[in-house]
Structure 1
Amino acid sequence: MTLTFNPDKYKELLTAYLPKLIKSEVENEQALKIVEDLMHRERTPEEDELYHLLITLIEKFEQEYYQPSQQNNPVSMLLFILDESERSRDDLVAVLGTEDLVDNILNGQQKINTEQARKLGEFFHIESSLFMK
């Protein structure tokens, strides 16, 4: 028996998950969690459609955000080093001062200035210029 696509069920899924263009690491992580959940079960045709849509959105975000051709993307570098060092966002708050500042930097709404780059370099024991564009 072939399962048929039900637009009403798909509309319910879209309403529940509200997929949209991914613009931050936080949104990317949320989408990845949904994809991982869907990946490990037998999907309905509607869930499969949502699964492929989210994968497309994640790939688009990651290609733009982690693009290897970008010589120096300070936020990508910061996220990579944060992940590799097994440090947390809270550690960044302790180094840089406020949650709002860290959120703005990680979401690309604010650039890392020279003093912040120096502090990050000292914290991670790496060259501060990695955090400058």
Structure 2
Amino acid sequence: MIIAIGRCVPENLSKSLKQQDNKIIRMVVLLSLIFSVCKISTGMIDALCTDHAYRQRYALIEKEIKKGEEQVISIPKLSYTPVTEYSLHWEITNDPNAYPNYLYKQYFKIKGVTLRE
């Protein structure tokens, strides 16, 4: 019975269906590729801007260390706040012993850092 139904379908119809399926697959792949490129490029730009802001912060801390002050260094907020899930961000607080402030203390071998307001 299945063979009989298949024989009733004209050959041109099956070829046109194959072409339609091929077009649909191409469109799905193309749309997926476009979406992926947009998503990845947005994440990369955000990650690069965040990295630049952290590098500015580290340069400021090193500048303060070179001044020779033996106190807790007060630094401003980052110049750029990440907006996507591709960038990690933990802002420092006013407590030099809180996370992530104590990591700056360990890394730079200073008494601590706090957030300048």
Could you tell me the TM-score, scaled by structure 1's length?
0.29
Greater radius of gyration (CA): 2
Structure in which a larger fraction of residues adopt strand: 2
TM-score by length of 2: 0.32
